[in-house]
Amino acid sequence: MNVVTVLGSTGSIGTSTLAVLALHPDRYRVHALAAQRNVDKLLAQCRQFRPAVAVLTDPAAASRLQQQLHAEAIPTEVLSGAPALEAVAQAPEVDQVMAAVVGAAGLAASLAAARAGKRLLLANKESLVVAGDLLLQALREGGGEIVPIDSEHSAILQSLPADRSRWPSDVRNIVLTASGGPFRRRAADTLDAVTPEEACAHPNWSMGAKISVDSATMMNKALEVIEAHYLFGMAPDRIEVLIHPQSIVHSMVNYRDGSVIAQLGQPDMRTPIAYGLAYPERMASGAPWLDLAAVGRLDFERPDASRFPGLGLAFAALRMPAGACAVLNAANEVAVDAFLRRRIRFTDIQRINADLLAAGSAGPCDTLDALFELDRETRALAQERVARLAA
């Protein structure tokens, strides 16, 4: 039996992960499920998966969950508070940790899993963006491994040689595909008027609110460029982004001999989730088969840098001193939240991101504490910008 903790179990990735695990009860057991405050959904998941531990970081929500579980005589232990995420990520009985909390809030638990030598199934790309070097160091020291869940990075891993020592010599570059989101064709001078509902209506993928907005601004691809840099050890000039509106080719690798190897599939996160869980084997995911004749055509185009300035910010951040990626991520988290609360306009998100990256809070960021301090400072500055733009 392989034992799994699912962080962010009530979210889009968490729910899809449990759907895959439910197909393989003979192979996987759930040790812990963790979320922030969604009592009803976590209760339903506890009924189905009977985890040893359930975490809600919000204390009031955790005590409501505890009462409900007690009333139903379900013997799951309930923990609350952010440190509980780390506890269930590093528990000795756990083999794999699905890191599917959204935002930098997932970082400490990702690090804890890495240090404890777990297999870290990383959906929470913000962990790598904020603390790529620290997370890789923790994996080396802990003896753990990271398997990306992000569909593009799963595709790259599937398209690279199994022998990692061949990556630097055989690979010319990697190409991350991007759908272009809902506003690929929308007149640029109308982007100011975009509503949260429009931004969250992704043409191909059904996802949580934050990553949906990130897809609409293409900050999602920006974060993924940084993620790819750390996962695959690729310098920025060996990472390319290509718009592919059908989201069927999930990414590809260009080899030095002119070969291109890509991974294709339906836009369904159960495929990369099943790949991560079973890696390096394969198992059923529940995702529908790809019927290329039904898809009919696959289109590709270069991204429009003026419409999607976030991509340029990612490449700039990678060339700046350490900490710049953490600044970009913190600014973006604040800006996206303010947009979802209708305090700022859609186009203000990139204004805030660009301003804060240019303001460049420097300082040492080789420890988690220093990074958290940088994250806090940047959030405070971004909140000031939001207040001014909202006035």
Please report, as ranges, the residues that interact with ligand NDP according to CB under 6 A.
8-14, 35-38, 57, 85, 100-102, 105, 123-126, 150, 205, 207-211, 269
Judge contact between 353 and 226, C-beta under 8 A: no
User: For residues 249 and 382, which CB has a smaller minimum distance to Mg ion in the complex?
Assistant: 249
**By beta-carbon distance, which residue lies closest to ligand NDP?**
11
| 10 three-class SS | coil
Question: Scanning the structure block, which residue is given the tokens 């993924």?
Answer: 224
CB atoms inside a 10 Å sphere around CB 315 = 16
User: Whose Cβ is closer to ligand NDP: residue 10's or residue 285's?
Assistant: 10
Binding partner at 135 among Mg ion, ligand NDP, none, C-beta below 5 to 8 Å by kind: none
By the 8 A CB rule, do 119 and 89 touch? Answer: no
Tokens 């528990």 belong to residue: 91
Task: Give the shortest CB-212-to-Mg ion separation in angstroms.
Answer: 12
The single-letter code of the amino acid at 132 is G
Nearer to Mg ion (CB atom), residue 38 or residue 151: 151
Degrees, nearest 5: CA angle 109-113-116: 135
Other Cβ atoms less than 10 A from the Cβ of 66: the count is 18
CB 259 to ligand NDP: min, Å? 27
Which region among 152-160, 242-250, 326-334, 366-374 touches Mg ion (by CB under 5 A)?
Answer: 152-160
- Residues 156-175 vs Mg ion: string with x where CB under 5 A? --------------------
The piece of 15-23, 145-153, 267-275, 356-364 that touches Mg ion (CB under 5 A) is 145-153
Give me the residue label for tokens 């895959």: 20
The 3-state secondary structure of 16-82 reads: HHHHHHHCCCCCEEEEEEEECCCHHHHHHHHHHHCCCEEEECCHHHHHHHHHHHHHCCCCCEEEECC
Rounded Cα–Cα distance for residues 391 and 378 (Å): 20
Report the nearest approach of ligand NDP to the CB of residue 279 (Å). Answer: 16
Q: Which C-beta is closer to ligand NDP: that of 205 or that of 315? A: 205
Residue, CB closest to Mg ion: 150
Q: Supply the minimum distance, in Å, between the C-beta of residue 215 and Mg ion.
A: 8
Residue 126 engages Mg ion in binding (rule: CB under 5 A): no
CA 47 centroid distance within chain:
27
CB of 58 to ligand NDP, least distance (A): 7
Residue number, 129 or 318, with CB nearest to ligand NDP: 129
Determine contact, residues 105/82, Cβ cutoff 8 Å.
yes
* Per-residue binding letters, 321-340, with Mg ion (x by CB under 5 A): --------------------
Amino acid identity, residue 348? D
Would you state the structure tokens that stand for residue 315, as one six-digit string?
Answer: 């490449």
Closer by beta carbon to ligand NDP, 11 or else 303: 11
* 247 interacts with, out of ligand NDP, Mg ion, none, CB within 5 to 8 A per kind: none
Tell me if the bond preceding 321 is cis, omega within 30° of 0.
no
- CA neighbours within 13 Å on the CB side: how many for 373? 10
Instruction: Report in angstroms how near the CB of residue 151 gets to Mg ion at its nearest.
Output: 5
Give min distance, CB of 102 to ligand NDP, in A: 4
In the block, residue with structure tokens 């939001």: 386
Which of 86, 126, 150, 268 touches Mg ion by CB under 5 A?
150
What's the min distance (Å) between Cβ of 12 and ligand NDP? Answer: 4
Identity of the residue, 90 or 124, whose beta carbon is nearer to ligand NDP in the bound complex: 124
State the residues that interact with Mg ion by CB under 5 A.
Answer: 150-152
